[in-house]
Chain A
Amino acid sequence: MLLVAQNLTKEYLIEKSIFSLQTIKVKAVNGINFGLEKESVLGIIGETGSGKTTLAKLIAKLITPSSGQIKYSFCDIRKSIQIIFQNPYNSLNPRLKIKTILKEPFIIHKICSRSEIPARINDLLKKTKLNDTCLDKYPEQFSGGQRQRIAIARALAVQPQILICDEPTSSLDLSIQAQILNLFVCLKNELKLCYVFISHNLEVISFIADKVLILYKGVDIEKGTKEQVFKNPLHPYTKILLSKDLILQNSNLNQTEEENILNGCPFYNQCRYRMKRCFEMPQELQPEDQHYVKCHLYQR
């Protein structure tokens, strides 16, 4: 295992208003457990509000958890884990030329001698299928897809073991998305990388992931291999995601009318199977080998 997350939780304090002293704690990430194996891809399916970006930052150690921990099997986090962001227009410093952006990891970590840097950069450009004419240009001169390639090249400079990809293709056009996804697969095979690939798009996850984790409002409601989760979804939310039609029975249209269940199942308000038991957060259950779910329906 490259890393193991145990009971990972991150809380944020949100003040109700300037006039009230009441502060509310929101758990962006709530008791998550998972492990990352060498050369595998963990696909995290999460949407806006699921806590996926908070989770990405926790894994990359850019923020610290409120409780729980992540155990890494390596020492130098900065050289072993890198992150690719969703918005290619925001992830490159607009004032720096590409060559400065790509030189930076080498300078920070003193990976090789100064004279070797240009050759290493050329190697990175080749891997990400970029032309070396890009070095003297600024980010604004590139399209979204090309900027993502530059971001990937920058991340690969430190030769990481794990690449966290936070919705890296969601802002790109469909045909460019295909190219970048293919690139991710190539790089994984060539460089023996491990990915934590976050997306709200099930099709993308089904293409690239080996294992899948479904994130809903900060809770890892279902985990398993790709085949298990896609062919035999257990959690009611997963079933909705995978269903082909528009049917949504018994769901409230108004969030404000939801009952406030502070420590219960996060899916309570949308769930057609909800019961009184769901006021309590479900334990993690294992209905089949390697396939986990947090839902009272599977409690014996």
Chain B
Amino acid sequence: MKFLSTNKSLVIGLGLILFFCFIAIFAPLIAPYEYDQIDQNSIMQPPSLKHPFGTDLLGRDVFSRMLYGSRISLSVGIIAVGIATIIGVVVGAISGYYGGFLDWLISTFINIMLCFPVFFLILSVVALLEPNIFNIMVVIGLTSWMGQARLVRAEILSLKERDFILAAKALGASDGRIILLHLLPNAIGPVIVSAVLGIASAILVESGLSFLGIGIQPPIPSWGNILNEAKSSLGLAWWLSFFPGIAIFLTIIAFNLFAEGLKKYLK
């Protein structure tokens, strides 16, 4: 109980995240309708008992589409950040540990990558490729590893000189062993916090892409593409923009709160 009061952000954030994960996993069981079930008699209906979040232009139940949409948002967020973190940790660790010319080369490459406006880079790539969920995950992952790499590199640069690392070298530990067993476990704290924040960011990117029409394509629902459909009817069908908007907002807040709480907890 004391844990709860001193770690409010952590607990609330985690609670919300688990809530969204739950609905994502059990969407087929919770959803009253299929996400592509068309009912031509209930086009553009406001929220009612039959359709708690209303219906869209094709008479599909928005509530069900929202539930299935959570699957897209969360999986894109988690997998994209997973890819980015793996690349970032490997690159950062090598750069920080070996130093010298290799470090200079990698750092310069990171700095060049950071010069690109990432969202536009993603836009261009996605416009050229087929806009399916897999491509989107990979593209976001491949363009957002730089932050993690820098964090890992910075931590390793400072940890490298600590006595226990020298002791491991004196014991004859190999470079790989030192990086994996000694350096990374001590460097991982900020990386985890950054990864959690990165999930929020990735969800936002995917929603943005889908909103612009080049992300997840209908009929597969994504919170972003529901918002896209809402564009044309902004004044009339408030429920089409309100619910996805709130969902994205709450998810971002959840991850940010969790990251804040985690940062405090790991200290």
Contact = CB atoms under 8 A, between A and B. Distances in A.
Most buried by B among A91, A92, A93, A96: A93
A112 interface: no
B171 A91 contact: no
Contacts of B177: 108
Interface string B150-172: 00000000000011101111111
Interface in B134-154: none
A81 B166 CA distance: 13
A52 interface: no
B182 to A, nearest CB: 5
A94 B172 contact: no
A108 B162 CA distance: 20
A85 B171 contact: no
Contact of B164 (A60, A62, A93, A109): A93
Interface in A96-128: 96, 104-105, 108-109
Nearest to B182: A93
A108 B182 CA distance: 14
Interface of B (DSSP majority class): helix
Contact of A60 (B168, B170, B174): B170
Given A95-B185, A95-B186, A108-B177, A90 B163 contact: yes
Contacts of A57: 166
B121 interface: no
B167 A83 contact: yes
Most buried by A among B167, B168, B169: B167
Contact of A154 (B171, B172, B174, B181): B171
Given A93-B186, A95-B185, A95-B186, A82 B171 contact: yes
A78 interface: yes
Interface residues of A, number: 25
Contact of B171 (A86, A90, A96, A105): A105
A131 B164 CA distance: 22
Contacts of A105: 171-172
A157 to B, nearest CB: 8
A81 B172 CA distance: 10
Contacts of A188: none
B173 interface: yes
A78 B170 CA distance: 6
B164 A90 contact: yes
A78 B171 contact: yes
A158 interface: yes
A104 B163 contact: no
Contacts of A91: 163-164, 167
Nearest to A90: B163
A79 interface: yes
A151 interface: yes
A131 B162 CA distance: 27
Nearest to A92: B164
Nearest to B177: A108
Contacts of A93: 164, 168, 181-182, 185-186
A87 interface: yes
A108 B172 CA distance: 7
A105 B173 CA distance: 8
B172 A109 contact: yes
A151 B163 CA distance: 11
B164 A78 contact: no
A85 B167 contact: yes
Contacts of B169: 62
Nearest to A164: B170
Interface in B189-239: none
Contacts of B186: 93-95
A105 B170 CA distance: 10
Contact of B170 (A62, A87, A94): A62
A87 B163 contact: yes
A104 B164 contact: no
A79 B177 CA distance: 17
A79 B172 CA distance: 8
B163 A108 contact: no
Contacts of B167: 83, 85, 91-92, 151, 154
Contacts of A79: 172
Given A81-B170, A86-B163, A91-B163, 15 more contacts: A62-B166, A62-B170, A83-B166, A90-B163, A91-B164, A92-B167, A93-B164, A93-B168, A94-B164, A104-B168, A104-B171, A104-B181, A108-B172, A108-B173, A108-B174
| In the A-B complex, the 6 residue pairs with the closest CB atoms | A78-B172, A91-B163, A90-B163, A85-B163, A95-B185, A93-B164
Interface of B: 162-164, 166-174, 177, 181-182, 185-186
Interface of A: 57, 60, 62, 78-79, 81-83, 85-87, 90-96, 104-105, 108-109, 151, 154, 158
13 contacts: A79-B172, A83-B167, A85-B167, A86-B163, A87-B163, A93-B168, A93-B182, A95-B186, A96-B181, A105-B172, A108-B171, A154-B167, A154-B171
